[in-house]
Structure 1
Amino acid sequence: MLEFCGLVGTLIIDEDGVYDSRSINDRLLLGMKGTMSELELSVIRQRSVEAVKQKARRGEHFTTVAVGYVKTKDDRIEKNPDVRVREALDLVFRKFVELQSIRQVLLWLLQEKIALPFAVGGSHDPKIEWRTPSYTTLNHMLTNPVYAGAYVFGRRSRTVGRR
């Protein structure tokens, strides 16, 4: 960008002064300022990622809350006080122990016309909707470590790259 500005003779102005893009000293100064800004952004990004990791190490980082749980005002999760929700989840787990297959549990729930709770809205005060179960919903429910009483963070990694 500085190269292009130098070709057309553009003056660059910021809060610190006026820079002539044709002057090598001004271009050097602007290049250094840009590099420092980029470094600052990198440091801020690293700090925010580390803050999330620290919160996760303490077991306090929740992006979403599993159906059947609610997030309290002090950022903890507790079982949903709604007995119907808890009983529906217990039924799914009991049927899975009995039938040993997510597909068989799904077919049984569909045959019996049993709807399952589905959380809609924010994690502090989700609204519960009752929906026909799907394989994906059951699979997520039966493989989610929260239902076993465990806290897990970072099960899926993400790599950011350039295209």
Structure 2
Amino acid sequence: MQDTQGKIKSQHLRRSAYLYVRQSTLRQVVENTESTKRQYALRQRAVQLGWTLEQLVVVDNDLGQSGASAADRMGFKKLVTDVGLGLVGIVIGLEVSRLARNCTDWHRLLEMCALSDTLILDEDGLYDPAHFNDRLLLGLKGTMSEAELHVLKARLHGGILNKARRGELAVRLPVGFEYGPDKKVRLHPDQQVQESLRLFFETFNRTGSASATVKAFREQGLNFPSYAQKKVNKDHILWGPLLTSQALRILNNPRYAGAFFFRQDTSSPGC
């Protein structure tokens, strides 16, 4: 690539070239290695344009971070800070979506680049955010990137809803159930768990209220099973006193009536 429009000046070459590398998820980092290789390969573009390898700063500590927001992207924050300090001659990214999928974050970077006379390079070309036409094109790319994220989310959400309508969506099950090897729901194999739930419903049918059921369990000194709430060992059975809130969640959970249900606002098993 040649600087055919004379955008690269000596003041740019005296500063560092920052290569920003990002993948949205850790799974992409592991499986989509070709994209990561393409991003690192952009170092050669900078060398072709006049920067030395010693001047290249690779910012890749946002691997596995979504570009939807800069809140958790420490690498992006460092990039913007160094641009504002006038340390960066050019920002390099494979495409706009690697740098940001949020127009607020993207335009903040463009503004900082324009004020500090910093260039931007992607796979398509070289841009000077201080020039109106280049800034307009970069702004359109940022808008398209944010719209693409919306489309991807809508497509993913639509797939989830379709599975849920068919009753095939795998969600975390309440205590007493588990998925078998065939991915179908079955009773938990622990007989003590099964007996505790049977006793719970028998007691409720006899007493007629959640609080009376809890009282009966406590009077008999009986513990009740629940799943660990943390992601680590989330299927591990914990035993403790039956709580009224837990009893109410069980009584209001359609799973115990043999029905599939899906709430979009939570992935909690309900007890």
Counterpart in the other structure of 1:37: 145
Q: TM-score, normalised by structure 2?
A: 0.53
Q: Deviations over 1:33-90 (max 9, x none)?
A: 1111111111101011111101111112233111111112332211112222111111
Asked if 1:142 is matched to 2:251, the reply is: yes
Q: State the alpha-carbon separation in 1 of the partners of residues 182 and 142 from structure 2.
A: 41
Alignment of 1:71-90 (within 5 A): 71-90=179-198
Q: State the alpha-carbon separation in 2 of the partners of residues 132 and 44 from structure 1.
A: 44
Asked if 1:133 is matched to 2:237, the reply is: no
**Would you say how many aligned residue pairs link Structure 1 and Structure 2?**
154
Asked if 1:16 is matched to 2:124, the reply is: yes
Tell which deviates more after alignment, 100-109 or 10-19. 10-19
Counterpart in the other structure of 1:161: none
Unaligned stretches of 5+ residues in structure 2: 1-107, 267-271
Q: State the alpha-carbon separation in 2 of the partners of residues 68 and 3 from structure 1.
A: 55
Q: State the alpha-carbon separation in 1 of the partners of residues 236 and 217 from structure 2.
A: 22
Moved segments of 4+, more than 4 Å:
none
Q: State the alpha-carbon separation in 1 of the partners of residues 249 and 150 from structure 2.
A: 35
Unaligned stretches of 5+ residues in structure 1: 159-163
Q: State the alpha-carbon separation in 2 of the partners of residues 75 and 62 from structure 1.
A: 8
The 8 Å contact of residues 68 and 85 in structure 1, kept in 2 or not, is answered as: yes
2:198 partner letter = D
Counterpart in the other structure of 1:64: 172
Q: State the alpha-carbon separation in 1 of the partners of residues 111 and 216 from structure 2.
A: 68
2:144 partner letter = M
Q: State the alpha-carbon separation in 2 of the partners of residues 62 and 99 from structure 1.
A: 34
Tell which deviates more after alignment, 127-136 or 27-36. 127-136
1:112 partner letter = Q
1:47 partner letter = R
The 8 Å contact of residues 13 and 19 in structure 1, kept in 2 or not, is answered as: yes
Q: State the alpha-carbon separation in 1 of the partners of residues 225 and 116 from structure 2.
A: 63
2:220 partner letter = E
2:254 partner letter = P
Asked if 1:109 is matched to 2:217, the reply is: yes
Q: State the alpha-carbon separation in 2 of the partners of residues 20 and 139 from structure 1.
A: 61
Q: State the alpha-carbon separation in 1 of the partners of residues 119 and 237 from structure 2.
A: 59
Percent of pairs with identical residues: 38
Q: 1:157 to 1:85 in 2, by over 3 A?
A: closer
1:54 partner letter = N
Per the TM alignment, residue 157 of structure 1 is displaced from its structure 2 partner at its CA by: 4.7
Counterpart in the other structure of 2:206: 98
Per the TM alignment, residue 9 of structure 1 is displaced from its structure 2 partner at its CA by: 2.0
Q: TM-score, normalised by structure 1?
A: 0.86
